[in-house]
Structure 1
Amino acid sequence: MTVNPSSVVDDSAFSVRRTIRIAAPQAKVWEAVTEPEHISRWFGQAAFEGSYAGARGTLTWPDRAPIPVRIEAIEAQRMVSYRWGNDDASGVVSGELDDAHSTVFTFTLAEVADGTELTVVETGFETTSDPAANLADHRDGWNGELDKLVTLLESDS
């Protein structure tokens, strides 16, 4: 399995960033970050009404209520941006997507000699109830989830 650097928090920009390499074709990585049946294999159980900007859906994990998600932007094979529910000042994630209290994560893909470079950047933590704690939590989350993605795609190759 390819070993990748950890996520980095930028406290001043309220963002988390991680760039990884995956020894798999860009088309395969694209499917893994955009198609619900593939997202569900490494992230959370995903359900979407479509694969276009504005499409709504949910991500669900066994230990929490469904989190509302919306595709913000999509450029085939290159970039997809999702807005997802995050806690508001009260620390609660509601069943509806609240643009004022949500974060946006964007996957950007680039073909490289040995496969695909994938960068995720998540922004908007300044609107959450505890920005520092949420930044740390999501930094750790992206480390674990993207490591699962690498393992999945490289074992399928």
Structure 2
Amino acid sequence: MDDMTVERSIWIDAPREQVWQAVTEPDQIAQWFLPVTLGAQMQRHDDGRLSVLLGPMAVDVARLEALEPPHRVTSRALPDGLLATIYTLEEADGGTQLTVTMSGIDALPADARRDRLQMSGDAWDQTLQNLKAHVAGTEKPFPQAGVAALFGFWRDMKEKIAVERSIWIKATRERVWQAITDPDQISQWFSPGTQWRGTGLIEGGRLSVYDAENDTDMYVQVIEKVDPPYQLITRSEPAPEEVPQTTIWTLQEENQGTRLTITHTGYELQSADERPNNMEQNTFGFGMMLENLRALVEGQELPYPGGF
């Protein structure tokens, strides 16, 4: 097995056709794939896209392709499709041997690859047990197991635990840099109709949402590092009951465009009970944010015009 590949396998006491339905039909996928606390449903579109339905909002998370029923199907994480998961179903001992192989981690930044492998592998161990229970009609043994770690969107960085998302944008680094540092542009992709303001793009400077009604600043981000057009690091200024979180924005040239990566840390300071749900929700949120940002830079309509 490739050193940068996650592979897990499980035997399920059911025919291949039944297991195939469980891994390809959206109503069934939602039962074993999504954490219970998310309270979401799934939808499969004609083009193979799988969307998670969060109230009135639909978030594209993967695309099913190369279907060979009931033998094999490939799922690619969206929006970029870098990470691919292949489900292989084989008849074995009167049931089905299901093997999941995730690849594409080698296309990620070098410092992120190893950090993701263990968390992704552990997540698949739990999720396959949930799938087995779903097919058997029994209770899920790991109700909090979720999507984000499976796709390699979580990192265990020794002393820090992070959510990390990235997107390729058809624009120069300088243009993307403007979009993440200019308060007027941040307002357009993050919270249309809401005013952002800044005290200067310097270490110690602040970016925040201005609440005119109460003449206060909300969602304050303190700038810790400015290295244009390569990296921006900000730290939240939390309310008393919250913990501070750090966001690292990294811009790399790629294929005549820019890969923008967000690494969000601070979850290691949260309790073990609240951490998984917060990370799961933020994983979806950052993915949606990046899609909005890309649309703004490329001159397209925002996929999530309501903002965040």
TM-score (normalizing by structure 2): 0.38
Match of 1:111 in 2: 91
For residue 135 of structure 1, what is the amino acid of its counterpart? L
The CA deviation at 1:110 is 0.9
Which structure has the higher relative contact order (CA within 8 Å, separation 6+)? 1
* Structure 1 CA distance for aligned equivalents of residues 60 and 3 of structure 2: 24
The CA deviation at 1:112 is 1.6
- In the alignment, is the contact (CA less than 8 A) between 1:104 and 1:124 conserved in 2? yes
For residue 42 of structure 2, what is the amino acid of its counterpart? A
Q: Deviations over 1:10-61 (max 9, x none)?
A: 5x541100111001111110000000001011002432103xxx52222479
The CA deviation at 1:75 is 0.4
Aligned in 2, Cα 1:153/1:57: closer, same or farther, shift over 3 Å?
closer
Match of 2:20 in 1: 30
The CA deviation at 1:144 is 0.8
Alignment map for 1:42-121 (pairs within 5 Å): 42-44=32-34, 45-50=41-46, 54-59=47-52, 66=59, 68-85=61-78, 97-99=79-81, 102-121=82-101
115-124 or 126-135, which moves further after superposition?
Answer: 126-135
Please tell me the root mean square deviation across aligned C-alpha atoms, in Å. 2.2
Report percent identity of matched pairs: 31
> Are positions 1:124 and 2:104 aligned together?
yes
For residue 32 of structure 2, what is the amino acid of its counterpart? W
Match of 1:139 in 2: 121
Alignment map for 1:142-153 (pairs within 5 Å): 142-153=124-135
Match of 2:8 in 1: 18
Aligned in 2, Cα 1:155/1:34: closer, same or farther, shift over 3 Å?
same
* Structure 2 CA distance for aligned equivalents of residues 41 and 77 of structure 1: 20
* Structure 2 CA distance for aligned equivalents of residues 59 and 125 of structure 1: 23
Helix, strand or coil at the partner of 1:122:
strand
- In the alignment, is the contact (CA less than 8 A) between 1:36 and 1:46 conserved in 2? yes
The CA deviation at 1:141 is 1.0
Gapped regions of structure 2 (runs ≥ 5): 35-40, 139-308
* Structure 2 CA distance for aligned equivalents of residues 109 and 151 of structure 1: 17
For residue 44 of structure 2, what is the amino acid of its counterpart? F
Helix, strand or coil at the partner of 1:132:
helix
Aligned in 2, Cα 1:147/1:138: closer, same or farther, shift over 3 Å?
same
Deviating above 3 A after TM superposition, structure 1's stretches of 4 or more consecutive aligned residues are: none
* Structure 2 CA distance for aligned equivalents of residues 60 and 110 of structure 1: 31
- In the alignment, is the contact (CA less than 8 A) between 1:59 and 1:69 conserved in 2? no
* Structure 2 CA distance for aligned equivalents of residues 106 and 60 of structure 1: 23
Larger radius of gyration: 2
Q: Deviations over 1:51-96 (max 9, x none)?
A: xxx52222479xxx945311231101110001003xxxxxxxxxxx
- In the alignment, is the contact (CA less than 8 A) between 1:48 and 1:58 conserved in 2? yes
